[in-house]
Amino acid sequence: MGQSADLLSLFDDEPTLPRPAEPAPVPAVEPALTPQAAAPKPEPAPTPKPADVPSSAPLAAATGYSASSIEVLEGLEPVRKRPGMYIGGTDERALHHLFAEVLDNAMDEAVARHAKVIKVDLDADGYLSVFDDGRGIPVDPHPKHPGKSALEVVMTVLHSGGKFSGKAYETSGGLHGVGVSVVNALSDHLDVTVWRDGFEWRQSFSKGHVLGPIQQVGPSKKKGTLIRFHPDEEIFGVGAAFKPARLFRMARSKAYLFRGVEIKWTCAPERITDATPETALLHFPGGLADALSERIGQIETVTPAFAGRVERKGEAGAVEWAVTWSPIGFGEADGFVSSYCNTVSTPDGGTHEAGFRAALVKGLKAYGELTNEKRAGLITAEDVIANAGALISVFIRNPEFQGQTKDRLSSPEGSRLVEQLLRDPLDHWLTESPKQANQLLGFVIERAEDRLKRRKDKEVQRAAATRKLRLPGKLSDCSRQSAEGTELFIVEGDSAGGSAKQARDRTTQAILPLRGKILNVASATVDKLRQNVELSDLALALGVQPGNRFNIEDLRYERIVIMTDADVDGAHIAALLITFFYRVMPETIRQGRVFMALPPLYRIQAGALSEYARDDAHRDELLATVFKGKKTEIGRFKGLGEMMASQLKETTMDPKKRTLAKIELPSDEAEIEDLVERLMGKKAEARYQFIQDNARFAVADLDV
């Protein structure tokens, strides 16, 4: 079948948006993606009255951003401006993608059975040539581009190609009509030679622009296309050059993907810096089975490879595959899957890989059922593929890829086709040789059991980690991870908590506000204690377990500081807390880890002079000394929440300035009980007095 210019459909000629029959009421902008757009033009829109146009002139002038800022890139300009969109960047990978585009086109001719031979040559000047003996790019005048040959259209117009309708190619790697025009745009020089219709034709380009009209060089019986190009250093950077090894690898995998092609490789010796051959004939009648054995070499495998090729009956579509499993992995990785669609490499996988995995899992599970191997039910795709080395190649009509570099296949047909065509061959392969089938099944089940065990271990670890990290939501923890040098301030109520949070040093000081009255621990049962939210939150924050499972090593802070208001209620709460520590985790007190903060009760000022007094006695003392004979102003703090954060910091929290009282147990047990009794007794005033007295007593020798 001959390909001619009329098969080159042009996306840009087809209006993609329905055009309004009536002139649009707003100024219509002609979609002008390409200068050649020959679509019927809509009626000119009526010129809007000035009042219709929002007057943005002053604004536009101010910002410099107006209609004139909106550019429409024409022809191949967008490719040069934004190469990333077309070839994924301008790095080495992107550079070699140029070769992929040209080789893909040659390969499409081969897969369509029009070409048998492809020649790839990298010459001493860094020019890369790709020849195929296919039909040749059509050279007749293009019906929709008067004065231009189809060849010129293909080379200079994005979205021009013969692969949209399926008439000229059945299953092609090309589908966007973009590839070779992009190569042209990004080459500082590109020559196309076409042999067809009894003549040799030639046309040259630079950076996407024609250097002259197409030339009929002379009569020739040959047929085919030769594209010779040099990548533009303006795009790829000075000195950017093709790597022979990479080109060779790409060419070789193409040859493996289609048995009906012979690729002749040549490379100027001065370009080669490694073991890449200067010449090679790449032809692999064994297809992917050969590619796989070449790739895995001597690596030990569980079974011989499972490989084959199936064509769909009736319509275009084929799958070829080769897969084997290795207990020791393949080189650097445990496993690999290399996939292709219409000979285009899809490094990011896609639907064909998904179908392949699904087919393997289903086949192995079915075989497990057949042989009464219950554990086959555990198998997932992950287990099957983890240690597999696999090559999978599909041929489908109208494939859909992600982007122009075609890194991932997205056609749903990919998975359907592979699953469907692989089912029978896999069943046969498994049942044909029960010994190897059982070996493989056993191997995959082991992977599944490993995986389940790993997951369980992980869950246990995670559970342990979250148990450790489960902290009450109202805790404002300090940032230091280790207990060393850290303090937990237990404060009364949210407003004091707020001041304390502002006043703290967040590296070492954590704040836990308690809400409401805590349980009277002296009389509560252990169960009641456990149920008390405030107290269990406190234990959580401290990181310890109350009762017999208490371990001082678990304590998340070096010090526990009880910071309550300097009033009767505050004293009660402090007393409750001290009793709690004494009853439930006495070790904290014994080891000297529990403290009382001593917030001041008064602020005494005389002009610029200002002092804080802890209690009445301290106030009187200050008045008699520091402020003697001065006119003073005395303020009484009603609670911690009332103090400014800076005051709280200065007087109570800052380790450099504050005073802490360490809680100590009297050495005599009887005395302790008496103490608890006094602390927890009914007489609030007595308790307050007791704490005031003892705290003050403590100040003298327990300053921190």
Ligand X SMILES: Nc1ncnc2c1ncn2[C@@H]1O[C@H](COP(=O)(O)OP(=O)(O)OP(=O)(O)O)[C@@H](O)[C@H]1O
What does 134 interact with, of Mg ion, ligand X, none (CB < 5 to 8 A by kind)? Answer: ligand X
Least distance in angstroms from the C-beta of 450 to ligand X: 42
Q: Residue 316: which residues within 8 A CB-CB, separation 6 or more?
A: 170, 171, 395, 396, 397
Which CB sits closer to ligand X, 145 or 447? 145
Distance CA 277, CA 512 (A): 73
What does 534 interact with, of ligand X, Mg ion, none (CB < 5 to 8 A by kind)? Answer: none
The residue range among 105-113, 372-380, 428-436, 691-699 that interacts with ligand X, by the rule CB under 6 A, is: 105-113
What does 267 interact with, of ligand X, Mg ion, none (CB < 5 to 8 A by kind)? Answer: none
Q: Is 78 in the site for Mg ion (CB under 5 A)?
A: no
- Say whether 105 counts as a known binding-site residue: yes
Q: Active-site residue numbers? A: 492, 565, 567, 569
Q: Is 174 in the site for Mg ion (CB under 5 A)?
A: yes
Which CB sits closer to ligand X, 8 or 578? 8
On the 0-12 / 13-18 / 19+ scale of CB atoms within 10 A, 355 is: buried
Distance CA 104, CA 98 (A): 10
What does 641 interact with, of Mg ion, ligand X, none (CB < 5 to 8 A by kind)? Answer: none
Which CB sits closer to ligand X, 86 or 595? 86
Binding-site string for ligand X from residue 133 to residue 162, where x marks contact by CB under 6 A and - marks none: -xx-x----------------x------xx
User: Which of 3, 181, 338, 564 is the binder for Mg ion (CB under 5 A)?
Assistant: 181
Q: Is 659 in the site for ligand X (CB under 6 A)?
A: no
- Phi/psi of residue 228, nearest 5 degrees: -125, 125
Q: Residue 523: which residues within 8 A CB-CB, separation 6 or more?
A: none
Q: Give the CA distances from residue 620 to residues 514, 596, 617, in Å, rounded to whole numbers and listed in that order.
A: 33, 23, 5
Distance CA 650, CA 564 (A): 16
Least distance in angstroms from the C-beta of 108 to ligand X: 6
Q: Which of residues 202-261 bind ligand X (CB under 6 A)?
A: 225
- Say whether 177 counts as a known binding-site residue: yes
SS (H, E, C) 227-270: EEEEECHHHHCCCCCCCHHHHHHHHHHHHHHCCCCEEEEEECHH
Which CB sits closer to Mg ion, 105 or 343? 105
Which CB sits closer to Mg ion, 209 or 506? 209
- Say whether 178 counts as a known binding-site residue: yes
Distance CA 443, CA 334 (A): 14
Residue nearest to ligand X (CB): 174
Residue 643: alpha-carbon gap to chain centroid: 47
| Strand pairing class (633-636; 602-606) | antiparallel
Which CB sits closer to Mg ion, 78 or 174? 174
- Say whether 654 counts as a known binding-site residue: no
650 DSSP 8-state letter: I
Least distance in angstroms from the C-beta of 45 to Mg ion: 32
Q: Is 106 in the site for ligand X (CB under 6 A)?
A: yes
Q: Give the CA distances from residue 652 to residues 436, 490, 623, in Å, rounded to whole numbers and listed in that order.
A: 77, 13, 21
Q: Residue 451: which residues within 8 A CB-CB, separation 6 or more?
A: 380, 382, 383
Q: Is 178 in the site for ligand X (CB under 6 A)?
A: yes
Least distance in angstroms from the C-beta of 157 to ligand X: 9
Distance CA 121, CA 129 (A): 5
On the 0-12 / 13-18 / 19+ scale of CB atoms within 10 A, 487 is: buried
User: Which of 105, 339, 393, 499 is the binder for ligand X (CB under 6 A)?
Assistant: 105
Distance CA 659, CA 287 (A): 83
Distance CA 323, CA 339 (A): 12
User: Which of 78, 83, 138, 179 is the binder for Mg ion (CB under 5 A)?
Assistant: 179
Q: List binding-site positions for ATP.
A: 65, 105, 132, 174-180, 406
**Which residues are at the interface with ligand X (CB under 6 A)?**
8, 101, 104-106, 109, 132, 134-135, 137, 154, 161-163, 174-181, 225
**Which residues are at the interface with Mg ion (CB under 5 A)?**
105, 160, 174, 177, 179, 181
